[in-house]
Structures are given as C-alpha cells and as structure tokens.
Amino acid sequence: MRAPSLIAADFLRAMQGLMPRGRIWPRADDAVQTQVLSGLAPSYERATARANYLLVDAFPATTYELLPEWESTLGLPDPCAGTAPTITQRQAQVVARFVGVGGPTIASLTAFAANLGYSVTITQYTQARAGMLKAGDPCCGYDWNFAWKITAPLNTVVRAVAGAMAAGDPLAAWGNSVLECEIKAVMPAHTIPIFAYA
C-alpha cells in the first residue's frame, strides 16, 4: 500500500470542507478566508511529505536520515567497515546485523554475506575417516572438523546508487575486509574461517 501524496490544494479543499456553511464563510478564490487557508496548506503538505518519507526511512535497507539510530541500535559503526564507509555499505551492514544469522549453517552464513553485498560459497570440512574417504579426497586431521572455507570473488565492487548516497561517497568501493570482519564476528568461536578469493 502506498502512502497518499497530498498537495496544498488538497489540504485547502479539506479545510474549506470543514468550515461551516453560510454567507460569512466564503469559498471564493479571492476571499480572505481562502487566502489564509492557502497560507496554511503548504505546511500540511510538507508535514505529509515528511511522514511519507519516514515510512521509507524507517526500514534498514532504505534508511538515510535514521541510519545513525539504526547503527547505534545494532552496535555499529565498527572497525569492519573501515574509516569511511559509503552509505550503501553502512545500510548493508545494518541489514545484515538486523536480519542476523539463523545459526552456524551454510545457508544462514551465505544469506548473511548476501545481506552484506557479497556472493559467497561456503564449504564445511570434516575429519578424514575410514569408510568415508574416496580416492583423491584430502586426508584432513581432527582440526578440520572446525574449518569453514568461504569463497568470494577477488574484488566485490559496491557501486553508488542514485538516491542512496551522500556527498563525498565514492562512485565505487571494493574489497572484502567487511566480509572477513563480519563473518569472523558471527562465526561460532570454536570454528576457523578460511577465506579464499577467485
């Protein structure tokens, strides 16, 4: 459902419709009452536009003005995003933290990385056991039970989007430091993430 987009003329008609009927309540365009109400109507138009914008700004994926509040609520900013992250990177980090991780599963960690803006595949290793090995499989020791390999593109480019960037934001940013930092923060403490880039 879309929020109503009302203009000053709509508010003028509405206010005139609320006035009593009679000769002393004229509705003519040149009447003093119409001119006074016409002076008030733009403030209602602005208030409605701001309220409609709040519906967009209240959600993590599209927030701009409320971004600092979202970050504060979710323990951001943190060192993961670097010293000068773009608005898009900050929004992605808020969405990833807000949606969270459903647990230490490949599907939930892949979804977490996707919310950050990274397309990854995750491989979970296990210790080599007799009867489970096939020819050519690596002979992994006990510690491999705790290893995960996160494969991502060598350079993930985050491009600026019109309407979702601020003055001073670069037109593109790349690198995987946010991915590594955030994945390390949400991985179970006993696991060992291994990052591979292709």
Q: Are 148 and 191 in contact (CB under 8 A)?
A: yes
- Give pLDDT tens digits for 122-159: 998 888 777 777 777 777 788 888 899 999 988 777 77
pLDDT of residue 40: 94
List the one residue out of 7, 33, 32, 30 whose CA is nearest residue 20.
33
Q: Is the pLDDT of residue 2 over 70?
A: no
List the one residue out of 74, 77, 99 whose CA is nearest residue 89.
77
| The residue to which tokens 């037109």 are assigned | 171
Higher pLDDT, 55 or 3: 55
**DSSP letter string, 169-180:** --SEEE-SHHHH
pLDDT of residue 3: 66
Q: Are 71 and 94 in contact (CB under 8 A)?
A: yes
- Give pLDDT tens digits for 30-69: 999 999 999 999 999 999 999 888 988 999 988 989 999 9
Cβ burial of 90 (10 Å; 0-12, 13-18, 19+) is buried
Q: Look over the chain and give the mean of its residue pLDDT values, rounded to a whole number.
A: 85
Q: Is the pLDDT of residue 17 over 80?
A: yes
Query: Of all residues in the chain, what percent carry a pLDDT higher than 90?
Result: 29
Beta strands, E only, 36-141: 121-124
Model-level pTM?
Answer: 0.64
**Nearest-angstrom CA–CA distance, 57 and 51:** 10
- Give pLDDT tens digits for 181-198: 888 888 888 888 999 998
Task: Give the three-state DSSP class for 150.
Answer: strand
Q: Are 139 and 128 in contact (CB under 8 A)?
A: yes
What token pair was written down for 158? Answer: 């985050």
Average pLDDT over residues 67-88: 84
pLDDT of residue 101: 66
pLDDT of residue 164: 66
What token pair was written down for 127? Answer: 């210790």
**Nearest-angstrom CA–CA distance, 198 and 185:** 23
pLDDT of residue 1: 53
Q: Are 145 and 56 in contact (CB under 8 A)?
A: no
